[in-house]
Amino acid sequence: MFKATPFEYDDELKREIDLRGLSQRTFANYRSQLRRMSEHVKKDIKDISTEEAKGYLHYLKSELKRHPQTINLCRAAFRFFQQNVLGNHIPSYAIPHHKFEYRLPDILPPDRIIPVLGCLSLKYRAVLSLCYGSGMRISEALAVEIGDIESGAMKIHVRNGKGMRVRYTILSTYSLICLRKYWKSFEPPGPKLFPQRDNPAEAMRPQNIQRAFSDTYKKHYPLCNKKITPHTLRHCFGTHLLASGTDLPTIQLLLGHKSIKSTSIYTQLTDYHFSRLVSPIDRGRA
């Protein structure tokens, strides 16, 4: 893949991404989607018409059965490139936004998570403990630098949040113990706590960790029909905090949600709020 048609607009695309304060991850995602579209259409990306782009998006949907979020990401990448790199205005209605059914995230019972983490390698356990113990995205956990860990205050400085937002979140005792064992065993040269083996200046990639966690969980609980990913642990963090009585605004701050609406989904996933509610029909009978 990506051999037939070269992508020669890295500098221009990165400049426009940087000027808008968007993240390196956005640049990488947009670049990947644009290269795939160019490869499929067999044209330089600047020569692809709106109709050809729509045809490719339909191909993603009808033949490759890609998730609507992937289709919308590709749409956003094409519009961004056309408008901000080439200067071609494309109204939003010209390429429809793909609607999809929102599903509540899967949640794991607390007593199943720790045993599964304990079966993983020390490095993977240290990373994933931050996803569950601190509510971090795996990209955030992998990007942690040594100086971000404030063990005295039991908190972590998250510098690489979604939308370039920074925040503090809690540091669990479990994670601190894992991180200290990991540090003694691997002695990362710094500043990245979880660097790539061949490029210490860059953080590890998440794919192997994601696969190991999912496979280990399914091995322990083969009847589980849920889609298990490291992001599941982040949802568990929010849901289990809410179930223990933590208020939504605090959970919002710890997770780095821009809107309280994103955090409020956890009220659907725990019995804590439902157990405190009284139906109007029962009040009328009182």
Q: What angle do CA 113, 119, 120 make, to 5 degrees?
A: 95
Helix (H, G, I), strand (E, B) or coil at 207: helix
159 is catalytic: no
For residue 27, the surrounding DSSP H or E stretch is helix 24-41
Q: Catalytic pick from 98, 155, 162, 181? A: 162
Q: Catalytic pick from 14, 181, 231, 273? A: 231
103 is catalytic: no
Q: Catalytic pick from 79, 123, 137, 235? A: 137
The CA-based dihedral angle spanning residues 19, 23, 24, 27, taken in that order and rounded to the nearest 10 degrees: -70
Termini Cα distance of the chain: 68
Q: Catalytic pick from 123, 167, 234, 240? A: 234
* Residue 85 DSSP class: I
67 is catalytic: no
184 is catalytic: no
- Residue 13 CA to residue 149 CA, distance in Å, equals 33
Instruction: Please report, as a single letter, which amino acid is at residue 23.
Output: S
Q: Catalytic pick from 132, 182, 217, 266? A: 266
Copy the structure tokens of residue 179: 């991180």
Question: How many CA atoms within 13 Å lie on the side-chain side of 53?
Answer: 27
- Catalytic positions are 137, 162, 231, 234, 257, 266
